[in-house]
Amino acid sequence: MPVYDQNQLLSIIDQASFAMDDVLLYLDTHPCDKAALNYYQYVRDLRQNAKNNYEANFGPLTVDQVRSDQYWTWVQGRWPWEGRGGASVCGTMKNGCSTR
């Protein structure tokens, strides 16, 4: 996988996760569709590779991915949803838009 920055990897993970959910719904009603099964395997692998790349470079995405028996590394650094600079992006509206 090429070198991606943190935001690019999160975007790939989001997009592949959406595609996986979509094709899984399709496969529930079309279990013999080989093209859909191949597509599922493609996006599954794309998602897993992006997750592995992200976790190797930026830390775990989820708490169950902590791999240390010496220290609880989940509390180190920023979490994926905190964005750059440590400021939380939760509740922040794009382009300074406001409903007020």
Report pTM: 0.69
| 39 CB-near residues (< 8 Å, 6+ apart) | 19, 23
d(CA 49, CA 54): 8
Q: Is the pLDDT of residue 38 over 80?
A: yes
Selection from 62, 15, 66 nearest residue 42 by Cα: 15
Give tens-digit pLDDT for 41-74: 999 999 999 999 998 888 888 877 777 776 776 6
Angle of the 34-58 helix axis to the 6-29 helix axis, nearest 10: 150
d(CA 48, CA 46): 6
